[in-house]
Amino acid sequence: MLALLRTPRWIGFTCLVIVSIIGFGLLSRWQWARAEEHRIERISIEQGYVVPGSTSYVTGLDEFSRVSMNGNFIPESTQLIRQRPLDGGNGYWVMSAFQPQEAPPSNLVWVLRGWLGASTQANTAPEIPAIPTGTIQLKGVIRLFEVAKDSGEGLPSNVISAMSTLDLERSTQIPGSTFQDRVVQITASDPTEELTVVPVPSVDEGQNISYAVQWILFALVAIIGWFIFLRREAADEAAREDQSSVSF
């Protein structure tokens, strides 16, 4: 077998196998790193900081922190964020401005109230259920604003493309008011709304772990395959040499 390994063909084949094994190892390592990132993200979502009591301020809180708030929604502030699928159906996120109790009247919070299915006509926004009146008790998680996508030209009234401060402020004018720098995504509210609760993002590192193991298996297959081919060709070479010696 050692004689075969010194031939140009086997030198090239061996180099190819080594490069493949290194590549498989790097891909496996990358998938393990992604799995660790997703594990940390999952833990941060599942075990987010719980703000004690009822709060009026969410500025600066980490994403997925848990909060409780009491206050009132601002009439005529509702916006629909388009292209938000849920359970296989297309729809909108419903956003409204919220005035927390014990906060100055000019200090507002954007609240993601829930999900609303799209209408049958793409250029027509669906009818939005009436905004709850009176004091609202809500529980939710902190979400970050998105990056603006486009100018919003050509969209129906009160429909925007992203949960961004630019889109929301451009579509909603509340003179003399300022918004806090975080969004509250409702997980429960009293009174309840005629909207579907938007689920908190789910992160699972299992798929990345599976891919990492697969790349390791590919590396093992390459090593085993290299050894089997070498052994088989060495046996064939030995058989040919024996046949030659017998013929003489």
What would the DSSP string read from start to end of 93-152? EEEEEEEETTS-TTEEEEEEEEEEEPPSSTTSPPPPPPPP-S-EEEEEEEEPPPPP-S--
Q: Which of 141, 159, 190 is the last residue of a domain?
A: 190
What's the pLDDT at 151? 64
> Which residue from 119, 248, 115 is spatially nearest to 185, judged by alpha carbons?
115
Residue 93 scores a pLDDT above 80: yes
Say yes or no: 76 and 186 in one domain: yes
Confidence of residue 7 (pLDDT cuts 50, 70, 90): confident
Percentage of the chain lying above the pLDDT 90 cut: 43
24-33, 164-173, 209-218, range with the lowest pLDDT: 164-173
Q: Is residue 177 part of a domain?
A: yes
Say yes or no: 140 and 110 in one domain: yes
- Hey, how many other C-beta atoms are within 10 angstroms of the C-beta on 41? 15
Highest mean pLDDT among 46-50, 111-115, 126-130: 111-115
Residue 246 scores a pLDDT above 60: no
Question: What is the residue-averaged pLDDT of the chain?
Answer: 86
> What range does the domain containing 25 cover?
2-43+205-247
What's the pLDDT at 182? 94
Percentage of the chain lying above the pLDDT 70 cut: 93
Number of domain units in the chain: 2
What's the pLDDT at 43? 79
109 vs 76: which has the higher pLDDT = 109
Say yes or no: 224 and 178 in one domain: no
What amino acid is encoded at 219 in this protein?
Answer: A
Confidence of residue 29 (pLDDT cuts 50, 70, 90): very high
Say yes or no: 158 and 102 in one domain: yes
Say yes or no: 185 and 230 in one domain: no
pLDDT per position as a tens digit, 56-89: 999 999 999 999 999 999 888 899 999 999 988 8
Q: Is residue 197 part of a domain?
A: no
> Which residue from 128, 62, 59 is spatially nearest to 100, judged by alpha carbons?
59
Say yes or no: 107 and 158 in one domain: yes
Residue 50 contacts residue 64 (beta carbons within 8 Å):
no
Say yes or no: 24 and 74 in one domain: no
Sign of the Cα torsion 219, 220, 222, 227 reads: positive
27 vs 125: which has the higher pLDDT = 27
Say yes or no: 166 and 221 in one domain: no
What is the average pLDDT across 190-200?
Answer: 89
Distance CA 98, CA 168 (A): 13
Say yes or no: 98 and 133 in one domain: yes
Enter the pTM of the model. Answer: 0.73
